[in-house]
A and B are shown apart, each in its own frame.
Chain A
Amino acid sequence: MGKKIFKKEIRLSGSGGQGLITAGIILARAAVLDKANVTQMQSYGPESRGGASRADVIISNAEFYYPEATRFDVLLALTQEACDKYSVNLKDDGILIADNTFVKNISLLDTEIYELPFTDIAHKKLGTKLPTNIITLGFLVRKTGVVSEASLKKAVTNSVKPQYVDLNNKALKIGYKLADEYLIKD
């Protein structure tokens, strides 16, 4: 049986300081552990906080050349601006995950949309907004299966400072749980 070719284009978007590039690197590392071909690239302004920021991850089991995501299989939007700007380039069967702490208006029809106040949830459950990126990553991976969860856990553990491994693993579990519960609510 021939191997089925897959290629997933994922854009993580929001503003500087939300940890999107870190999340992109972690997702790419997880894909490498899955033995996939990966590119991860980013776009951001000269400032370290604020300003539009995004990370693109392309995962495939075949060779590909252009490293920028152009038609997204998955779009994560953590700000209204990012959602407005990029949701038009979602594939017809693409998935939008939006943080409705900040994204109040989604003008897409007929698309698989998941809305949750990820930032508020992080603050409430973990006492800090910082791991929002990891919660959304957990949610994204459980919903889409773009990488294996074992690889994702390993990638998170390898990517954060030892003193923050527990916190981020907790965040990952919250993300998974939110994904499971979202299914039930639907």
Chain B
Amino acid sequence: MTKNNIESKVVLMQGNEAVTRGALDAGVNFFAGYPITPSTEIAEICSTELPRRGGKFIQMEDEIASISAIIGASLAGAKSMTATSGPGFSLMQEGIGFAKMTETPCVVVNVMRGGPSTGLPTKPSQADIMQSRWGNHGDAPAIVLYPNSVLEGYELAIRAVNLSEKYRTCVVLLMDEVLGHMRETVTLPDLEKVKIINRIKPTIPPEWYKHYEDHPKYIHPLASYGEGYRFHVTGLAHDAYGFPTNRADETAIMMERLDKKIKHHLNDLVQIESFYMDDARTAIFAAGISARAAKTAVMMARKSGKKVGLLRPLTIWPFPDDAIRKYMKNVRNIFVPELNQGQLLNEVKRAMGGVWNYESRRSRKIIPIQKNDGQLITPADIINKMKEVK
């Protein structure tokens, strides 16, 4: 079979499979992981596909080892990834912080399941939204992407790898259990049309190389071990060569870079979908699988003449504050359906703070629709809540 035959055909594909295909198409050639429901298929497919493509698959002894292995592989030049779920994601936080601190590209897929602890392994949950932002200790921003369909799982997996390479950081791809296990009709794009980003390599002689050289755009070239460039990597605060430092001036430069390289590129990073928002009087803000219910709810409401729209983040962190303010300025009520106890709700409230004036604030509301019992929010749940509030 030629490549085109596979790529441009309409297929029935599972979410986890799509994420794996996307990552492989983006050039991931190293996977280390500890399989866990509902992300297992990602490890399973990598274990057969990577060796076939000349890549490496390692099943590690736990999740701490897994994240450490992909960071090491990345420093040696690989595009690396791991996949996990809630319990494993908790264990990986230390490593995720290390990847951010050492500015090492890597991708962590977290197919969310019910928690806390081992919780509900085979049931959906959206309760890791805050952990994906604040899970690691210390002050550092996060890039987190969140698809709502199988095809988007493929696309955002590619984007996650690209962004990790571009911004030299750990990018998290959040998935819903339902999305990971669900199958749907997908038309994959031609591989030739897929945009791939690779890390910038230093062009200077090895003896001039600084692993953390400051750059006007806060993103700097990255050498790999084994290419003749010498550099030191530590989780301690470090200077431009990577050696530990306690100096305030050097620490400030480092911390500023971690922050600014994300904040100066919000236009590149933030992605949203506006679904019937242009004339909307009532808005829904939802992500992932809950946005699928919201879309059906929007169509049902529109059918009965109600001007309802949906705003959906594809990039959940950095949070799309500006887009929310722009699209929600003139709506009356905002409904926030989510499979947790208000992780998105409070962010929407924060983003909307001060946008509505005092007078209008009294008649306008941000209304939660929440479930955390392992069941999905249905379109009817959203419609019923809207009728209730009116």
Contact = CB atoms under 8 A, between A and B. Distances in A.
Given A32-B10, A32-B11, A66-B296, A46 B181 contact: no
Interface stretch (B189-197, B226-234, B323-331, B372-380): B372-380
B185 A66 contact: no
A46 B378 contact: no
B378 A68 contact: yes
A39 B295 contact: no
A49 interface: no
Contact of A70 (B182, B185, B380): B380
Contact of B122 (A25, A46, A65, A68): A46
Contact of B12 (A32, A41, A45, A64): A32
Interface residues of B, number: 23
Residue with the highest number of chain B CB atoms closer than 10 Å, among A40, A41, A45: A41
> Would you call the interface of chain A mostly helix, strand, loop, or mixed?
mixed
B296 A65 contact: yes
Interface string A38-51: 11111111100000
Contacts, number: 61
B61 to A, nearest CB: 22
Contacts of B178: 41, 67-68
Interface in A18-39: 25, 28-29, 32, 35-39
Interface in B95-140: 121-123
A29 B12 contact: yes
Contacts of A28: 12, 183
B295 A65 contact: yes
Nearest to A65: B295
A139 to B, nearest CB: 22
Given A64-B296, A67-B184, 17 more contacts: A32-B10, A32-B185, A37-B184, A37-B185, A38-B183, A39-B182, A39-B184, A39-B185, A40-B182, A41-B182, A43-B123, A65-B296, A65-B299, A66-B293, A66-B295, A67-B178, A70-B379
Interface of A: 25, 28-29, 32, 35-46, 64-68, 70
6 contacts: A37-B184, A40-B183, A64-B296, A65-B292, A66-B292, A66-B378
